[in-house]
């Protein structure tokens, strides 16, 4: 159960506020904001577990997440440096009541701005020691939040195509929205935003 919670927490995006666009083909604008809660389904070996995450912006910068899954709660704080140029995800197991401050090369539930920029410019980039390739979003795989909103997401795959990520297309906060085929933990999908 702990490993399922760990990986789910590590891959979960921060808070989102939705605003529908006026044009039919445009994506939903997503804004990162303190206090927004996100509901995810975490899938570990076919077992679905609900996870709620709430975003906060620390005074020192970066981005933080308060998580709640079952009876376990805690906080993770991505440093300003990690958010800017991190290249590794922190996969350490969480514990009840923990307040984990991540190092300058680490992120959790979000990719660094430098990674997103590199991925978009070069169509590939390294993170967590793996090469990721930017791909067109496969037809029919768009995320639908609250059964109505489609966020502006970019899509990437591992070099061998076995792991897939949907990432918020936001230069300031490239949040992880969905993961399939995760080699380091369970799969997940963002279902609702409050």
Helix, strand or coil for residue 45? coil
Residue-wise pLDDT for 150-168, tens only, equals: 899 999 999 999 999 999 9
Read off the tokens for 133. Answer: 């390739």
Residue-averaged pLDDT of the chain: 85
Q: What confidence score (pLDDT) does residue 16 get?
A: 42
How many CA atoms, within 13 angstroms, populate the side-chain half-sphere of residue 4?
16
- DSSP-derived letter for residue 89 is E
Report, as an integer, the average pLDDT of 49-55.
92
Terminus-to-terminus CA distance in the chain, angstroms?
26
Read off the tokens for 169. Answer: 């297309």
Element (H, E) at 39: strand 37-44
As a whole-number percent, the residues of the chain with pLDDT over 70 amount to: 85
Q: Is the pLDDT of residue 181 over 60?
A: yes
Q: What confidence score (pLDDT) does residue 90 get?
A: 87
Write down the domain spans for the chain. Answer: 2-193
């Amino acid at each position: 159960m702990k490993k399922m919670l760990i990986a789910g927490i590590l891959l979960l995006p921060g808070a989102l506020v939705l605003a529908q666009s006026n044009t039919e083909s445009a994506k939903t604008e997503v804004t990162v904001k303190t206090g927004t809660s996100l509901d995810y389904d975490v899938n570990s070996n076919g077992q679905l577990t609900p996870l709620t995450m709430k975003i906060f912006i620390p005074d020192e910068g970066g981005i933080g997440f308060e998580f709640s899954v079952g009876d376990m709660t805690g906080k993770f704080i991505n440093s300003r440096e990690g958010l800017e140029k991190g290249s590794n995800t922190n996969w350490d197991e969480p514990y009840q009541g923990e307040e984990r401050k991540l190092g300058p090369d680490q992120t959790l539930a979000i990719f660094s701005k430098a990674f997103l920029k590199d991925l978009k410019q070069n169509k590939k980039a390294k993170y967590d020691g793996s090469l990721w390739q930017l791909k067109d979003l496969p037809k029919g795989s768009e995320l639908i939040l609250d059964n109505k909103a489609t966020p502006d997401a970019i899509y990437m795959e591992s070099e061998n195509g076995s792991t897939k990520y949907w990432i918020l297309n936001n230069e300031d906060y490239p949040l992880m929205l969905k993961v399939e085929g995760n080699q380091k933990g369970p799969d997940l999908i963002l279902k609702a935003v409050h």
